[in-house]
Amino acid sequence: MKLNPFIFVILGISLLVSACVRDDDRLFEDSASARLQKALAADQKILVDEPGCWLMEYYPQKNQSYGGYVYFVKFTEDQVTVWGEIAANPSDNYTTLYKMTTDSGPVLSFDEFNYLLHYFSTPSGSKMSNIYGDTGLYQGHEGDFEFLILKATASEVLLKGKRSGCVIRMTPYEEDPVQYLVDLKAGRDNNFRATVQGSVFTISAFSTQLGKEEYKIEMDRDMRQLSFTKAGAEDSHSIGYMYTPDGIKLYKPFEADGVSLDGLQWDKESEIAKCGSLDIKNKMPDGWLSYDKYIGTYELTYNYEEDWYVDEPKTVTVSLEQKEEGVSYVMKGISDQYDVVVDYNLSGGNLVIMGQIVGTFGENSVYFAAMYASRAANGSPTWTGWRSNKYGIKTVADPEILESDPDHIVLNFIAGPSAAGKPVNSFGLLMQKPDGSSGGWMKPADEEDHKYDEWFIFGDNYYSLFWNSMVKK
């Protein structure tokens, strides 16, 4: 009897399928849940077994709009100890519980409140501040405290913020995290000083050739963004960055014409920022002056606006003395009662005078307040001021006089931004009560009341309008 050959084919396929099923059973003899738990245990072992700690490159917000910050984390079986750049002191650290859990994959969750790790994720209302003093942050800074584990090896751990989607990189760090944070702060403060440019703080002196194109590179220190603008173009491309002890590191490289730039390292000797073999030149703005050139005595002119109805221009003698070398000065001559701190900005080579608290009167703080002055309908000056250290004015040196007579430089005051979008051009004295509310202007209640006289600016009044210039004697 002949057997149909197709029977053998069918039997063979059946046996093969049966074997495959048995192989699959052996391959996946553990349930999906059991396999995930094994993966969690393996990932946690990598975190805990690191003898030093992990350097965490933390970026909140889905577009990295706040830039990046350095943390150090050290794990035990159930606790994590954290140091961070945002701490008041580099040695401050906080130890809290953490857990390994699952959500479509392994998850590292810092579920117990940690003062450092939860800074960027803690919300606040419009009137109530959170524990950090922030207000109006209903979503916090849109940061994360729960992270999907994308990769975990002894040399690198990659996390992904469940909320922001930002990729967070952790690498082993065997040295002292406190010293790293000390060095980072020193590098940040000394290598990248800020100049007032519009409503943001930037360093605008960098330029470089990337491939065949010239680029201008601007740094927004407040939001930790580096923006790249091609020569002749209007649109720019911004990338978040974080500080390192010798420069900055970008969240992702900037690519242009086959050239990749992933950060900047500052060369103090040549005053050039470098990225590998690429030199980023620091072109000084016109009128740039070194810190020491500003020390001396000046004639300061105010009440000087040709198209305003004000008194005749007034000139007083003031002096700039060293406060912190390379950083700030003390301006004397404002009042016998107090001095004013003036900041020096290395990249712009200019001066900035911001609103600031200069003393106390009774229980009230006294603000040397930035003001916007204008002309009222009747021709008299009117003004408004802010109790804040965020608003002020800057100087720019007259380049022609700087070249012709460098010993008698002329510094012109440039109006700065304010909360109301109106330019700061004057200063006045405002008080602030202990509860933070306004205590009003320091003006006499009537002609017989002279209790504020000793505080008056230039001994003249509780305000001085339209700051114009300073000429070195």
Q: Which of 50-64, 132-146, 342-356 has the highest mean pLDDT?
A: 50-64
In the block, residue with structure tokens 């070398």: 325
**149 close to 108: Cβ distance less than 8 angstroms:** yes
Phi, psi of 95, deg, nearest 5: -115, 125
| Span 10-34, pLDDT tens digits | 445 454 444 444 444 444 456 777 8
Q: How confident is the model at residue 295 (pLDDT cuts 50, 70, 90)?
A: very high
Kindly state the DSSP code that residue 123 receives in the 8-state scheme.
-
% of the chain beyond a pLDDT of 90:
49
**Is 60 exceeded by the pLDDT of residue 268?**
yes
Task: Report d(CA 317, CA 312) in Å as an integer.
Answer: 17
Domain extents in the chain: 33-180, 192-282, 291-472
What is this structure's pTM?
Answer: 0.56
| Span 28-37, pLDDT tens digits | 456 777 888 8
Q: How confident is the model at residue 128 (pLDDT cuts 50, 70, 90)?
A: very low
Alpha carbon separation from 462 to 367, 431, 437 (Å, rounded): 11, 11, 19
pLDDT at 156: 97
**365 close to 357: Cβ distance less than 8 angstroms:** yes
Q: What is the identity of the amino acid at 380?
A: S
pLDDT at 258: 80
Task: Report d(CA 229, CA 106) in Å as an integer.
Answer: 40
pLDDT at 16: 46
Task: Report d(CA 464, CA 473) in Å as an integer.
Answer: 22
**60 close to 251: Cβ distance less than 8 angstroms:** no
Helix (H) or strand (E) holding 381: strand 381-386
pLDDT at 215: 79
**Is 90 exceeded by the pLDDT of residue 151?**
yes
Residue of 424, 367, 352 whose CA lies nearest to 195: 352
pLDDT at 290: 83
pLDDT at 288: 80
Pairwise pLDDT comparison (249 vs 104), residue with the higher score: 249
Helix (H) or strand (E) holding 299: strand 296-302
For residue 40, how many other CB atoms are within 10 A of its CB?
20
Helix (H) or strand (E) holding 25: helix 5-27
pLDDT at 274: 77
pLDDT at 56: 97
For residue 128, how many other CB atoms are within 10 A of its CB?
9
pLDDT at 301: 94
Q: Is 378 helix (H, G, I), strand (E, B) or coil?
A: coil
Q: Which residues contact 72 (CB under 8 A, 6 or more apart)?
A: 53, 54, 55, 56, 82, 83, 84, 173, 177, 180, 181
% of the chain beyond a pLDDT of 70:
79
Rounded to the nearest 10°, the torsion over CA 217, 220, 226, 230 is -30
Quick one: tokens of 266? 């500052």
**207 close to 213: Cβ distance less than 8 angstroms:** no
Long-range interactions of 49-52: CB distance < 8 A, separation 24+: 49/154, 50/74, 50/75, 50/154, 50/172, 51/174, 52/172, 52/173, 52/174, 52/175
Pairwise pLDDT comparison (355 vs 232), residue with the higher score: 355
pLDDT at 25: 43
pLDDT at 284: 59
pLDDT, the chain, mean: 82
pLDDT at 105: 85
Residue 360 bridge partners (DSSP): 365
**Is 70 exceeded by the pLDDT of residue 220?**
yes
**102 close to 110: Cβ distance less than 8 angstroms:** no
| Span 68-81, pLDDT tens digits | 999 999 999 999 99
Quick one: tokens of 319? 């002096």
| Span 309-356, pLDDT tens digits | 567 789 999 999 999 988 899 999 999 999 999 999 766 788 999 999
| Span 423-467, pLDDT tens digits | 899 999 999 999 989 999 998 766 566 788 899 999 988 999 999
| Span 367-419, pLDDT tens digits | 999 999 887 766 677 888 889 888 999 999 998 999 899 999 999 999 887 76
Task: Report d(CA 147, CA 107) in Å as an integer.
Answer: 6
Task: Report d(CA 329, CA 343) in Å as an integer.
Answer: 6
**Is 60 exceeded by the pLDDT of residue 138?**
no
**319 close to 296: Cβ distance less than 8 angstroms:** yes
pLDDT at 29: 56
Sequence-ordered alpha helix ranges (H) in 312-407: 399-404
Q: Is 190 helix (H, G, I), strand (E, B) or coil?
A: helix
Quick one: tokens of 223? 């939001």
pLDDT at 297: 98
Kindly state the DSSP code that residue 61 receives in the 8-state scheme.
S
- Identify the CATH assignment for 33-180 out of 3.30.56.10, 3.40.50.2000, 2.70.98.40, 2.40.128.280: 2.40.128.280
Long-range interactions of 431-437: CB distance < 8 A, separation 24+: 431/361, 431/364, 431/365, 431/366, 431/367, 432/357, 432/364, 432/365, 432/366, 432/367, 432/387, 433/363, 433/364, 434/363, 434/364
Pairwise pLDDT comparison (36 vs 201), residue with the higher score: 36
pLDDT at 203: 42
Task: Report d(CA 319, CA 471) in Å as an integer.
Answer: 11
For the chain, give the number of residues: 473
Task: Report d(CA 157, CA 149) in Å as an integer.
Answer: 8
Q: How confident is the model at residue 125 (pLDDT cuts 50, 70, 90)?
A: very low
